[in-house]
Amino acid sequence: MIRYAYRKVKAHRARKAEEVAAAIAPPRDPMVQSPTLNPPIPTVFTVSKKPCPKCAQEKSAARKYRWKLLFCLVPAFFVSSLDLTIVATALPRIASHFDRFNQLNWIVTAFTLTSTAFIPVWGQLADIFGRHATLQCAVVFLTIGSILCAAAPDWAVLLLGRALQGVGTAGVSNVVLIILADSVSLKEQAVNTSIFQLMNGVGYSVGPVIGGYITNANWRYCFVLGAGISAVSLLTVFLLRKELKGGHVSLSRPPRGQTRLRAFLTGISTVDFGGIAIFIFGVGLVILGTAWGGSTYAWSSGAVLSSLVIGAILILVFLAYEALLSPSRLLNRLFPKTVPMIPGSILSAKDVSLVCCIAASAGAALYSVFYFIGIYFTLVEAYEASDAGVQLLYYVPGLGVGVYSAILICNVWPRQTFWPLLVGTIVETAGIATLAYAVKARDATLVNVMMAVAGAGTGLRFMPSNLHLAGMFRDRLAPVYSLLRFALPFGGTLALIIMGSVFQNQMSDYFGSDTLNSGNNGISFNLHDQDSLDAIAQLPDAEQAVIRSQGATATMWAFISILPILGLGLLASAGLGNVWIAKSPSQKNDSETGERREDGMCRRHANSLTDTGSAAETPNEVEYISSRYLLALFRGNVQQLKRAGVNENAATGPSAHQRRELDASAMTDGSPAEVEPKEFGGTVSTRTTEKDSIV
């Protein structure tokens, strides 16, 4: 009703304005001849409730494209989310099969390490070889990893399969989000990304449930399911090959006079292998050191300290290395063809760092709920593994509310990215803090409610974080999204490691205790062994109460241990800039007032008709403020600090098929184009030479 009344009032004001303009216009002298023999007939517009056919066609095309993306990309994206949590309830059974309880955490660590470290690699490959080829390669890694895990004859093969699953997951999660931002406006991207992020959360949520029931039959079926969905996604991704944006190298249609191998080698020559190696080793050592600390080795041990120190130094070296690859810098002169994996201008951008910090805090909250709430219901409330997984479904409604609220805030009112990021961070932090109290109080109802609240805060930030960076760095999506996708699992991995160490230290006096074991006829308790956890019910009531009470306390301190990470995210959200999402062209001007031409066409399309009868694209610029938005609000100079971003229509670029046609028509002299790497929006510029080429 409010929107209907608003449109009516706006239409009435528009008609009054036209009447006033006509009244004050100077009268025309009938004796003055028209400068043309056939003066143009003025277009008559009337108020009509019927939609403009051109606007309807645009909406229909956007809707069809969205559903095609949903159908073709969801299988790969869903299985990449599922692989992380489907083994959560199957861990004890898997470790029992290989007799590796003391190394059980490596099932998770092998996956999270590679899924975190390889994310930026896929972003650069997507720019060089195109979205379709890169995504298909990532799905192949995911499929091979799932098959190896399902058929693993020993522990080493299982860990290799999990590592390959992580590599494939890194590529799928990164390239899919880049695809969603490639060929649409920010408004359309908000809807598309929200759908996929909701699927991401659903995959995280149902993973433990599916894993719990499948494990009752055979734990290998957890990986068989992932392999089957991955195989299907190979076909669905292939259906998008013509719609996806191409890269600087076309392997399917190499330039004339050049083989596919030659084109591949030319593209590989631009890859930042030095930066990739430094980044993977640096991040890997940091994750390895935190995984060892407090569990395998003491935090003060040489293995832990050396891993953390060397990893931190390598990350700093990576930042310096990427900066020196900038144009006219030392490494750029030594390696002129190498394109930096993450350009220095991206690494130094304030909002990129702050949004990545927010994403890391969201990952910490997300991973903590899915792993430690399951432990709480299993250990403290004595639930079966499958029933404990079902409790995690309370997270999904909250996640859905957050995602839908983010769509309304970004697309309806106030159409900004700052507020959902700030409010979502506050809600998520409050939800996790209250969740820590709820597990200590052993109030299962409050635990479920706070899971939904924390899920709403996380859902509020999923899509706006992507939209915020896309609005500011529209022409540099691949490197920006690579950092963003790296931040979430990295924050989650660190949170799990910290929480695991705190939990283990809190429970060290109970699990593995000689006194407790002797009280139960020598049964050795292990947190990750379901049979061991079930054996707690055989203890006397007094001993059960002690163990379960300490489990609640340990879980509480585990959640408290990650509150500093969430606090950093809260500070980061307060220092952000802001992005304004422009209305789509079909919502502008006369589409709101209902004014139509006699043939039903709205004023925007009627005015954009050229002499040839084609409608020119209406610029749809993005406005943003890169300085601190809260500070600008207090000072009252927001309008003065606003800047126009990249035109959305120009930033979308041609599809792979269109790019090939343009390249083929441009090569009239038969000479190929050689890549001349430059740091310009994280892309590679081309020029025509006599050397070997890149399309």
pLDDT per residue as tens digits for the range 90-125: 777 787 788 776 677 788 888 888 988 899 999 999
**Top-confidence residue, 263 or 585:** 263
Which architecture characterizes domain 65-248 according to CATH?
Answer: Up-down Bundle (1.20)
The answer to whether 283 and 490 have CB atoms below 8 angstroms apart is yes
Distance in angstroms (rounded) separating the CA atoms of residues 325 and 319:
10
Quote the pLDDT of residue 605. Answer: 63
Checking if the pLDDT of 395 tops 80, the result is yes
Q: List the one residue out of 204, 143, 91, 189 whose CA is nearest residue 529.
A: 91
Predicted confidence band of residue 409 (pLDDT cuts 50, 70, 90): very high
Quote the pLDDT of residue 416. Answer: 93
Query: DSSP class of residue 378?
Result: I
Quote the pLDDT of residue 609. Answer: 57
35-51 as b/e: b if 16+ CB within 10 A:
eeeeeeeeeebeeeeeb
Predicted confidence band of residue 567 (pLDDT cuts 50, 70, 90): very high
Q: What share of the chain in percent tops pLDDT 90?
A: 31
Distance in angstroms (rounded) separating the CA atoms of residues 243 and 677:
26
Its CATH class, for the domain covering 351-582, is mainly alpha
Instruction: Give phi and psi for 324, each to the nearest 5.
Output: -75, -10
- CB burial of residue 24 (10 Å; 0-12, 13-18, 19+): exposed
Quote the pLDDT of residue 517. Answer: 47
**Top-confidence residue, 424 or 514:** 424
- Return the structure tokens found at 555: 């879980």
Query: DSSP class of residue 218?
Result: -
Q: What are the residue boundaries of the structural domains of the chain, listed by start?
A: 65-248, 351-582, 585-619
Query: DSSP class of residue 379?
Result: I
Would the CATH topology of 65-248 be identical to that of 351-582?
Answer: yes
The answer to whether 360 and 488 have CB atoms below 8 angstroms apart is yes
Q: Residue 597: beta bridge partners?
A: 45
Q: Residue 687: beta bridge partners?
A: 674
pLDDT per residue as tens digits for the range 306-343: 998 999 999 999 999 998 998 888 888 888 888 899 98
Quote the pLDDT of residue 621. Answer: 65
Predicted confidence band of residue 190 (pLDDT cuts 50, 70, 90): confident
Q: What is the 3-state secondary structure (H, E, C) of 501-525?
A: HHHHHHHCCCCCCHHHHHCCCCCCC
Quote the pLDDT of residue 379. Answer: 82
Q: What is the 3-state secondary structure (H, E, C) of 562-607?
A: CHHHHHHHHHHHHCCCEEECCCCHHHCCHHHHCEEECCCCEHHHHH
Distance in angstroms (rounded) separating the CA atoms of residues 18 and 590:
13
Helices (runs of H) and strands (runs of E) counted in the chain: 30, 7
Question: How many Å separate Cα 445 from the centre of its chain?
Answer: 31
The set of residues, in sequence order, having a beta carbon less than 8 Å from that of 371 and lying 6+ positions away, is 85, 88, 496, 499
Residues recorded for the chain: 695
The answer to whether 554 and 534 have CB atoms below 8 angstroms apart is no
What is the overall mean pLDDT for the chain? 78
Quote the pLDDT of residue 405. Answer: 93
* Model pTM above 0.85: no
Quote the pLDDT of residue 617. Answer: 45
